[in-house]
A and B are shown apart, each in its own frame.
Chain A
């Protein structure tokens, strides 16, 4: 049994946090603490904010990783922890969405009365002309 190990990946959207072989992993599952040994049955669950403990293969120091929630996927040979980078919750997300909505609202209020698309197009055309001029200049 000592030889049995399982590959563990802990990744977040911003970076890869841990990748390596492990003998045993403990995670804060949504329904309770989970301890996973190699050859665990396939499992998918959400995890709560908390610490992931990984016991690396071949002894070595126990790794402690804090995750702000996320998803755990257990396959026969691989454990993947898809960690959230920020603490998420329905209410929190909702609050953020509202904030974004509000900002959009304010921006709209600030925006000048509907300017014609033509104005913007003109600006674009001008920029394009500038670019063309620069290109010609460079060729020369």
Chain B
């Protein structure tokens, strides 16, 4: 049986741990609200630009943007992996990376070449250890998604697609459903399927300045960027939610541990008192 002093020290250390996890939980909770708001703010842009893209691609059947053309042979793949920068957010990254790893192995088994773009520190580290071909990366994204930090990494991937370095581009991230539920998902970004773009309700002829092709090029690029941006925003909201839940679980666990330890401590103390008493009684009887 451990000594009373050791148990007391243990209790104190668990209490300190609980203070930290509790604080992290509260920080994550407040960040989560902001992250969710940001995610919602990013939505209108994505919808609007999708409408415009759908419009133009329908209005201009003669010009097919490379993003819309499906390739015949699919032998090389590009994947954008969005993870968090920091850990301590439960199984969020683990689940996503496990899914990516499975895909990755499947591709390797089929002899497909894979190029990886890592957004977020965790995914980058994982891909490095995996020995994957990382062509671009962006880390230290902060609490607030910023297009500025993503543009470079995304452009490398979009160029890769246009320049025929790979035949399709996938996006892996955690989709945010609600505070308790985030799911890892891998979706196809390029070639853009018609369904994803949707078709506009009404069609009219636009005036184009300078010309349809140039505008369409820009709209398409912006659209893909918006999709990725939205994914990053969702991933961040997922991160904060997952962290909050994980830290709450940790605080609860610490509380249970403290209860158990306190019980042992009290029992121990009681045992010591009883022992001392019986010694005194025994001693008195002997005299």
Which residues of A approach B to under 8 Å, CB–CB? Answer: 9, 11-16, 29-31, 41-46, 70-71, 73, 75-76, 80, 82, 84-86, 88, 93-101, 103-104, 107-108, 110-112, 114-115, 117, 119-121, 124, 127-128, 131, 134, 137-138
The verdict on B3 contacting chain A, using a C-beta distance below 8 Å, is no
Contact for B49 among A82, A94, A100, A131, CB less than 8 A: A82
Assess whether B41 is in contact with A14, with CB atoms less than 8 Å apart: yes
Interface on chain A toward B: helix, strand, loop, or mixed SS? mixed
A88 to chain B, nearest CB (A): 8
A13-B46, A16-B41, A138-B253 given. 6 additional CB < 8 A pairs? A29-B209, A46-B215, A71-B218, A95-B152, A104-B156, A124-B94
Evaluate whether A71 and B148 lie within 8 angstroms (CB atoms) in the complex, with A14-B41, A43-B206 already known: no
Interface residues of B in 166-196 (CB under 8 A from A): none
Q: Provide 5 A-B residue pairs closer than 8 Å at the C-beta atoms, listed in order of the A residue.
A: A11-B45, A71-B49, A127-B91, A128-B94, A138-B249
The residue among B38, B44, B135 with the most chain A CB atoms within 10 A of its own CB is B44
Top 4 nearest A-B pairs by Cβ distance? A96-B152, A100-B152, A45-B209, A97-B155
Question: Cβ of B237: which chain A residues have Cβ within 8 Å of it?
Answer: none
Evaluate whether A85 and B148 lie within 8 angstroms (CB atoms) in the complex, with A124-B101, A137-B253 already known: yes
Kindly state the interface size class of chain B when it binds its partner: 35 or more
Question: Cβ of A108: which chain B residues have Cβ within 8 Å of it?
Answer: 128, 134
Contact for B159 among A75, A97, A120, CB less than 8 A: A97
Interface on chain B toward A: helix, strand, loop, or mixed SS? helix
Question: Cβ of B208: which chain A residues have Cβ within 8 Å of it?
Answer: 43-45
Interface residues of B in 44-87 (CB under 8 A from A): 44-46, 48-49, 52, 55-56
Assess whether B91 is in contact with A131, with CB atoms less than 8 Å apart: yes
Assembly CA distance A13 to B39 (angstroms) = 10
Assess whether A16 is in contact with B45, with CB atoms less than 8 Å apart: yes
Assembly CA distance A110 to B134 (angstroms) = 12
Which of B8-16, B17-25, B219-227 contacts the other chain? B219-227
The residue among A44, A117, A134 with the most chain B CB atoms within 10 A of its own CB is A44
A91 to chain B, nearest CB (A): 12
Assembly CA distance A134 to B135 (angstroms) = 37
Closest chain B residue to A97 by CB distance? B155
Contact for A82 among B45, B148, B214, CB less than 8 A: B45
Assess whether B101 is in contact with A111, with CB atoms less than 8 Å apart: no
